[in-house]
Amino acid sequence: MRGAAAIVGVADAASPTGELELTGRALEAAVIAEALADAGLTLDDVDGVCHSTSSMGLAEYLGIHPRFTDSTMTGGSSYEVHAEHAAAAIAAGLCDVVISVYASTPRSDRRRGRPPMRPNLMGPNPMLEWEAPYGLRMPMGPYAMAANRHMAEFGTTSEQLAQIAVSTRDWAALNPRARYREPITVDDVLASPMQCSPLHLLDCCLVTDGAGAFVMTSAARARDLSRPPVLVLGAGTCHDHSMISQMPDLTTTPGVVSGRNAFAMAGIGPGDVDVLMGYDSFTITALLHLEDLGFCAKGEGGAFVEDGRTGPGGSLPMNTNGGGLSYTHPGAYGMFLLVEAVRQLRGECGDRQVADAEIAVAHGSGMVLSCMSTVVLGTEAAA
C-alpha cells in the first residue's frame, strides 16, 4: 500500500467568527466541489465515497453511484481511518477516485435554534449508564482524568500543558482564518476559567462551524493532475476502549500501536517528520500524542514542550494552522489535520509554511482517547 495512493485535492471552510452561512448537505457539497476543483477532477470521476454517518445518503444527494463505500465512525479520527481505507481500496483496485467529507455547524446551529445537522448514529452510549451518574462532565471530564493521572505519575504541570496552547496560538496568529489569533501567555491560560480540574478554558478546544474534504486517487493518476501529489506512505489504526473508565492506562493511548504501524509501513521514524498534525481536543491530548508517537519518552512530554518546541521556529512544528485549540473545531477535527498536512507538503501555507517540508503526519484521536489513527504523508521526493 505504501505510495500507491495520493491525496490530490483538499478544501476546508472556517472563519474568524466561528460561523458559516451554509449548513448540512449544502455545506458538504460545497467543500467537496472545492476539493475536486483543487484536484482538477469532477463528480463524474468519483467512484468511492466516505462519510462518517451515511455514505449512501451523501452519494444519493450528489447523484453518484460509487463502487466503494465507507461509513466508518470513530469520532475525531474517522477521517484518518477513511484515508487509510481509501488508500487500501485504491491499492486493491476496488475504486479509482475517493472523496471524504465532514461538515458541522454547532455554533451557528445553537445561535439560530437549529437542530443538529445529523442524528447520532453511533448506537447506545454506555457512558450514560455507567459514568454520567457519577458526575463525569463531558467532554472534558475524561481528558481531565488523563491529565490528572499524567501529573500524578510523571510530575507534569499545568504550566507545561498551557505552553501547548500558547504555541498553538502562535501558529493561529499566522492563519487569517483562525477563530482566535491574539497571542496568549502561560499565565493567560492558567487565569482562564477552570472547566474540569486541571483543565482551564484555554486548555480546551473551540466550538465552531467548520467543514473539510479530501480527494484521493492512485499515485499513477495523480501524476497527471494539476497539483503535486501527496502520497500516503503509511497508515495505522487502533482502539482499546469506548468508555474512559475502561482505558487500560490513562497515560497511554492506542496511538502507540497506530503510530508504530504507520511509521513502519512508511519506513520512517519520528526524526524524519517535518510537520505533525496531532489532534488537540485538549492540551493533554496533544501531549499524549507526542509521547505515544515516539517524539519523546513516556512521561517526558511536559518537558518536551515547555520551551515552545512545537510552535513557530521550534524543532517540531505541530498544528501549524492553529489546531482545534485556536483555528477551528466543529466537533470532529480529524479532517482538518489532513487538509493542513497536504497544504504544508505542497508549500501553500504562506506565513506559516514550514520550510522544505517533505513528510507530515496526521494523527487523529476519536471519542475519549479511544481510537487513534495515524497517516504518514509525503512528497514524491520523500517516497
Supply the DSSP string of 51-119, one letter for each residue: ESS-HHHHHHHHT---SEEE---BTBTHHHHHHHHHHHHHHTTS-SEEEEEEEE-HHHHHHHTPPPSS-
- The identity of residue 16, as a single letter, is P
Catalytic-residue membership of 143: no
Residue 369: count of CB within 10 angstroms of its CB: 30
Place of cell 498534525: 277
Whole-Å CA distances, 356 to 337, 347, 378:
19, 8, 12
Q: Which of 79, 143, 279, 333 is catalytic?
A: 279
- Are the CB atoms for 197 and 174 separated by under 8 Å? no
Dihedral of CA 308/312/314/318: which sign? positive
- Are the CB atoms for 363 and 236 separated by under 8 Å? no
- Are the CB atoms for 147 and 368 separated by under 8 Å? no
Catalytic-residue membership of 61: no
Distance separating alpha carbons of residues 334 and 12, to the nearest angstrom: 12
Those residues whose C-beta lies under 8 Å from the C-beta of residue 348, and which sit 6 or more positions away, are none
Cell reading at 28 = 458538504
Closest CA to 345 of 232, 262, 235, 230: 230
- Strand ranges for the chain from DSSP E: 5-13, 48-51, 68-70, 97-104, 194-196, 199-200, 210-218, 230-239, 275-278, 359-366, 371-378
Partners of 216 in the β-ladder: 7, 98
User: Chain-centre distance of CA 383, in angstroms?
Assistant: 23
- Are the CB atoms for 326 and 168 separated by under 8 Å? yes
Cell reading at 159 = 504550566
Q: Which of 79, 102, 180, 327 is catalytic?
A: 327
Provide the annotated active-site residues: 279, 327
